[in-house]
A and B are shown apart, each in its own frame.
Chain A
């Protein structure tokens, strides 16, 4: 079955600390991989996406993610977190040739001053 798992429901980090949000997927074909961010009361904004090629992708707001096929993972990272990064983050996977995405349950990020 196709699925996306974000093991951490809630993470708290201190401002200026590094961040890694985990995402694991189960998919029977070559996946498209995405990370979205959702601020409270807002829609989802695309942070970055991976289709093929270089397994380290850069996104907006200083985020990056690394695709590891052997581990079925697509973890999101940021070297130094800002208070404005507090939000909910969703990992999603799509199939090559199809239009719909499967989302993980989300990870809520809190940032301590």
Chain B
């Protein structure tokens, strides 16, 4: 049982480049989330999914897209990276609220955009 895993762990992009971050969970969780963490700002929700084939916007969705084609995977895409997207990105997953709800986090991806 690996929990929540993220690929890659580190990445450096040039402005305007694109990339996809992969999140995988093996806990059969319905809900999955992408957060970004910036100094002094805690974690802010980018997008989330309440089940396979669904996605929804969070607090800071601009500049990102997501897909949930399989229940166990949640992809975060940056189509045209900007320096403001330099951050640490965390994926999380959970059962729906009311079913022992708590979010389980991956180890993070540190992204630098130059």
Contact = CB atoms under 8 A, between A and B. Distances in A.
Interface stretch (B42-50, B61-69, B79-87): B42-50
A11 B9 CA distance: 29
Contacts of B103: 34, 46, 101
B108 A100 contact: no
Interface residues of A, number: 28
Contact of A44 (B41, B44, B96, B105): B105
Interface string A78-113: 000000000000101011111111111110000000
B33 A100 contact: yes
Nearest to A48: B102
Contact of A96 (B35, B97, B107, B108): B97
A46 B93 CA distance: 12
A90 B42 CA distance: 7
A106 B44 CA distance: 12
Contacts, number: 64
A44 to B, nearest CB: 4
Contact of A9 (B40, B48, B90, B105): B40
A50 B35 CA distance: 22
Interface residues of B, number: 27
Contact of A99 (B31, B90, B105): B31
A103 B43 CA distance: 6
Contacts of B4: 43
A54 B108 CA distance: 33
A63 interface: no
A45 to B, nearest CB: 8
A103 B97 CA distance: 17
Contacts of A9: 40
Given A44-B90, A45-B105, A99-B96, 6 more contacts: A34-B102, A41-B108, A43-B108, A46-B102, A90-B42, A105-B42
